[in-house]
Structure 1
Amino acid sequence: MPEWEQASAIAVYKQIAGFIDTTGGATSNLTEEQRGRFVALCWIGQIYKHIANPKPSYVADWDELPEWQQRVDAAIFDAVEASLTTTSSH
């Protein structure tokens, strides 16, 4: 994995974790789509940070993403949320 991509993944993790924290965990009320959209937007921000002229497919809006990518983005949010729950319960 390229260094910029790893840094971007860490940044997105921190953005999700911060969002969960600042809402006091109320993000559990978000729909799967809302969770996925948040992850997608965070990732798009990282793309623009690291790539001057990204391909349109790299910064596609939610409705333009394939269904599998939408599910993966939502699952990423869920995985971060689960990791925080596991960390805080120890």
Structure 2
Amino acid sequence: MSSDDDHGGKVFREAWITGVTTHYPGTPKDSYITPWENTPDWERASAAAVYCQVVDFIELTDGAATRLSPELKGQFVAICWIGQILTRIPDPKPGYIAPWDQLPEWQQKTDIGVFEAIQRDVTASEAVSKS
């Protein structure tokens, strides 16, 4: 994985952990809050891929995607993640590929936070490149 992928994957993972620790009812599973360094390779690659998909979406819409409702932002992350699951897990559990309306509220809020963290990262990167 390149350092760019590593950066994007870390942004995704940090936002995921923040969302889980904020929104998960009770004590989350250890795998939900595993630090980047201990995250399995397939999950790191998936996080990096979804980061890139969100960045591409924002860039290909000239930033208009940032004006989506929070729910649509979260749905986009969820759909991209499902694509990664289907790519990397031959016979995933139904819960791994559940549609948005079947995801628990904590996961929906976490996915929204992931999109918004990536959006902030893109905005910060643009500000640095313009200065």
Q: TM-score, normalised by structure 1?
A: 0.98
- Matched letter for residue 87 of structure 1: S
What CA distance in whole angstroms lies between the structure 1 residues aligned with 2:67 and 2:57? Answer: 13
Q: 2:91 aligns with which of 49, 53, 68?
A: 53
Q: Which residue of 1 aligns with 2:70?
A: 32
Q: Which runs of 4+ in 1 moved over 2 A?
A: none
Query: What do the CA deviations read for 1:14-68 (whole angstroms, capped 9, x no partner)?
Result: 0000000000000122001100000000000000000000000000100000001
Q: Which residue of 2 aligns with 1:3?
A: 41
Q: Which residue of 2 aligns with 1:88?
A: 126
Q: TM-score, normalised by structure 2?
A: 0.68
- Secondary structure of 1:44 counterpart: helix
Q: Which has the larger radius of gyration?
A: 2
Does 2:96 align with 1:66? no
- Secondary structure of 2:57 counterpart: helix
- Matched letter for residue 84 of structure 1: V
What CA distance in whole angstroms lies between the structure 2 residues aligned with 1:66 and 1:2? Answer: 23
Does 2:52 align with 1:14? yes
Unaligned runs of 5+ in 2: 1-38
Unaligned runs of 5+ in 1: none
What CA distance in whole angstroms lies between the structure 1 residues aligned with 2:84 and 2:114? Answer: 16
Q: What count of residue pairs does the alignment treat as equivalent?
A: 90
What percent of counterpart residues are identical?
50
- Matched letter for residue 110 of structure 2: V
- Matched letter for residue 88 of structure 2: H
